[in-house]
Structures are given as C-alpha cells and as structure tokens.
C-alpha cells in the first residue's frame, strides 16, 4: 500500500505559489508532514483529499489516479481537517450514525454495531449520549478520528490534530493515531516537531511550498550528531554570533540566553557539544535562524 505524490504544484489566483514541485511516497504507517504555518501543508492536504485541484503533477493511491478519480478516492479516504464543525445539540452516537448513512452504511443493525465499535475505539463509549457542544477539545478530536474511520479507509489525513490539546489529551491522541497507523496510511500534518518525533516512521519538512527534507526521524537526527554546539551568551552579542555561525535557535531560560549552532567542526570559543534533536533538523532544513527566545539582536 502506498501513496505516490509526483511533481505537484499549485499557484493561487493572487500569485501565491503554495506548492512547488512536491514529490514523496507514503507507505503504510504514520507519515509526518512538518512545516511552519503557511508552508503549504494545508494546501497539500486539501489537494490529496480532492478538495481542490493542482496546477500540475500527479497523485496515486495503489494505482488509483487521485486527481482524476476523485469519487473513488473519497470512498477510501478518512479526513480530519484542522477545524471541523459539529452540530452542538447532537450526540456523538447520533452524529456518527448520520455520517455512516452518508457513507452508504444503510443496514441499521450494521450501522449500530459500527458506531458502537468506533466509540469504543476512540474511548467515547461513556460519552455517546453527550451532546457534541459539551465535548472538550480532546474529545472533539477523538470524535473527529471516529468519523474519519467510517468506511475502513485506506488513507487517513489529519491536519494539525494536537493543536490546543492538554498533555494528557495529546498523549491519548498519540496512542490512538499509532494504533490506526498499524493498518493504513496516515498523513499527519503539523508544525509541532514532537508530534512527528513521537509518532512517525517517515516524514517530510515543507517550507514555502517546497520539500526541504525527506527521511526517517531517527536517521535525520543521526545526521546532525556531533554537529550541534551550544553556548551561554550575553543578549547584546547575539547579532555577532549570527554573523559568525549558523545559529539554529536561541533559548531564554531563567534569564539566561543559550544559542544552538550547526557546525561541521568544533567551533571552539567556549561552545560545547549539544545533543542533536529533530528540532535541530527542522530548523536547519527550513534555513531560518529561529529566535525561540523572542530576541532579535
């Protein structure tokens, strides 16, 4: 099972080039699409989900031409957008039953069993009679996954699924997505590096509509091992260090400013080796000096 994206490009009428010759392959499991806000992630997700057209390029799912056979793709697709509406006065059970009808599950008994199984799968059985308007953010996300699973999809797309969730809800969501990824292709679009590091066996970094890095999280981190250095500096000297080194990020902790740089060789000057992380891979790939501390100079 694989999803193949080849030379996909999209330019909006206002001239914004949202996608620029994007290509990669997703296999069964979790695939992370990592990038800053406005990088083109949502455009790519909507295009794969057949919600908008590309200017050029192809997408295929196990031989199915996604851009030409949209109806066929939608039968195989589960989609959880970043924001989705619910009828606040409708219960979770009622809403899933309604969506199952729309997806062609016409037999009442089968539909009842399906809804019960989905609610159990996302740990919402106890809340099945609760109105959706009273759900927490995490409960709504789990409900969103339940509706995306109707029809046994071969491809599931989730766009920024953990934004706004508390740590406990995020952990539960991680576990749920991991279980789903054992049997299908799941594309996780996010700007949160931890999501990709925790969940995904493959990932791509996209910025300004282009794929800047493609690989496996662990291997990507290994590539930077021994090439990350840190140092405590004065705020007033930050601009000078940015001129002299490839500064990946700055961190202000308890009033103390640390910088992280990428260097092929030991830079000396008081720098000490740092443990490489996927965050370093991300910052290096997008080619920015990221000011985590909010200090520009």
Identify which has the larger pLDDT, 169 or 221: 221
- The rounded percent of the chain whose pLDDT value lies above 70 is 96
pLDDT tens per residue across span 150-166: 888 899 998 887 766 77
Whole-prediction pTM: 0.85
pLDDT tens per residue across span 13-49: 999 999 999 999 999 999 999 988 888 998 999 999 9
Q: In this structure, are residues 276 and 225 in contact, taking their beta carbons and an 8 Å threshold?
A: yes
- CA 148 – CA 161 distance, rounded (Å): 12
In this predicted structure, the answer to whether residue 147 has a pLDDT above a threshold of 80 is yes
Mean of pLDDT values over 58-67: 94
Hey, where are the domains in the chain?
2-215, 222-286
- CA 200 – CA 192 distance, rounded (Å): 12
Show contacts of 42-47: CB within 8 Å, 24+ apart: 42/82, 42/159, 42/189, 43/10, 43/18, 43/19, 43/209, 44/5, 44/8, 44/19, 44/189, 44/206, 45/81, 45/157, 45/159, 45/187, 45/189, 47/8, 47/10, 47/19
- CA 13 – CA 3 distance, rounded (Å): 28
The domain 222-286 is placed in CATH, from the list 3.90.380, 1.10.3470, 3.40.1620, 3.30.70, at 3.30.70
Per-residue pLDDT at 289: 39
In this predicted structure, the answer to whether residue 198 has a pLDDT above a threshold of 90 is no
Per-residue pLDDT at 25: 95
Per-residue pLDDT at 248: 94
Residues 6+ apart with CB under 8 A from 125: 116, 119
Domain 2-215 has CATH 3.40.50.300: yes
Per-residue pLDDT at 164: 67
In this predicted structure, the answer to whether residue 177 has a pLDDT above a threshold of 90 is no
Whole-number mean pLDDT of the chain?
A: 88
- Strand runs labelled E in the chain: 2-11, 17-27, 29-34, 56-61, 64-65, 77-80, 155-159, 185-190, 202-207, 210-215, 228-233, 246-253, 256-262, 272-273
Mean of pLDDT values over 180-201: 88
- The rounded percent of the chain whose pLDDT value lies above 90 is 61
pLDDT tens per residue across span 109-145: 999 999 999 898 888 999 999 999 998 878 888 888 8
pLDDT tens per residue across span 99-109: 898 888 889 99
């Amino acid at each position: 099972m694989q999803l193949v994206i080849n030379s996909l490009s999209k330019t909006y009428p206002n001239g914004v080039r949202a996608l620029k010759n994007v290509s990669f392959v997703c296999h069964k499991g979790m695939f992370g699409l990592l990038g800053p806000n406005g990088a083109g992630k949502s455009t790519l997700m909507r295009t794969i989900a057949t919600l908008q057209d590309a200017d050029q390029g192809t997408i295929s799912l196990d031989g199915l031409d996604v851009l030409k056979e949209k109806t066929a793709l939608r039968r195989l697709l589960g989609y959880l957008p970043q924001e989705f509406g619910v009828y606040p006065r409708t219960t979770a059970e009622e809403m899933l039953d309604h969506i199952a009808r729309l997806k062609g599950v016409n037999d009442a008994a089968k539909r009842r069993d399906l809804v019960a199984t989905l609610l159990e799968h996302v740990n919402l059985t106890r809340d099945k009679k609760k109105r959706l308007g009273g759900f927490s953010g995490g409960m709504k996300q789990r409900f969103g996954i339940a509706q995306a699973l109707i029809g046994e999809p071969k491809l599931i797309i989730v766009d920024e699924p953990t934004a706004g969730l508390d740590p406990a809800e995020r952990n539960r969501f991680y576990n749920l997505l991991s279980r789903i990824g054992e049997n299908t292709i799941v594309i996780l679009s996010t700007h949160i590096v931890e999501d990709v590091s925790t969940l995904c066996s493959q990932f791509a970094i996209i910025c300004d509509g282009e794929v800047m890095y493609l690989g496996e999280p662990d291997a990507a981190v290994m590539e930077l091992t021994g090439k990350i250095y840190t140092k405590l500096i004065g705020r007033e000297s930050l601009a000078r260090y940015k001129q002299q080194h490839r500064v990946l990020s700055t961190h202000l902790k308890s009033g103390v400013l640390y910088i992280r740089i990428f260097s092929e060789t030991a830079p000396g000057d008081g720098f000490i080796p740092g443990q490489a992380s996927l965050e370093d891979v991300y910052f290096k790939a997008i080619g920015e000096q990221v000011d985590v501390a909010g200090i520009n100079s």
